[in-house]
Amino acid sequence: MNGIRLSQGGDCHHQRPVYSAAIDLGAAPGAWSMFLSSMCELVVAVDPAELHPYAQLPNIHHIRKKASDACRDLEALLRREEKQVDVLTCDMNMHPVRASQVLKSFLQYLKPGGQVVLTLKFTGTGRDRSKMATVLQDVFQDDLEDMHMIWLLSNTVCEQTWIGRVR
| CATH (domain of 79) | 3.40.50.150
- With respect to residue 7, please indicate whether it lies within any of the assigned structural domains: no
Residue of 149, 144, 139 lying closest to 110 (CA atoms): 144
Q: Is residue 8 included in any domain, yes or no?
A: no
| Residue 58 belongs to a domain | yes
In which domain, by residue range, is 62 found?
A: 19-166
> Does some domain include residue 139?
yes
pTM score, whole prediction: 0.88
The answer as to whether 11 is a domain residue is no
How far from each other are the two terminal CA atoms of the chain, in whole angstroms? 29
Decide if 31 contacts 6 (C-beta within 8 A): no
* Cβ atoms of 7 and 30 closer than 8 Å: no
Q: Which pLDDT score is estimated for 17?
A: 65
Determine, yes or no, domain membership for 3: no
**What confidence score (pLDDT) does residue 153 get?**
85
For the CA atoms of 10, 67, 33, 86, the dihedral, rounded to the nearest 10 degrees, stands at 50
- Give mean pLDDT in consecutive 10-residue pieces for the chain, a chain of 167 residues: 46 65 97 94 98 96 97 97 96 93 96 95 75 90 94 85 95
Handedness of CA 138, 142, 78, 33 (dihedral sign): positive
Asked if residue 133 belongs to a domain, the reply is: yes
Question: Does some domain include residue 130?
Answer: yes
Number of structural domains found in the chain: 1
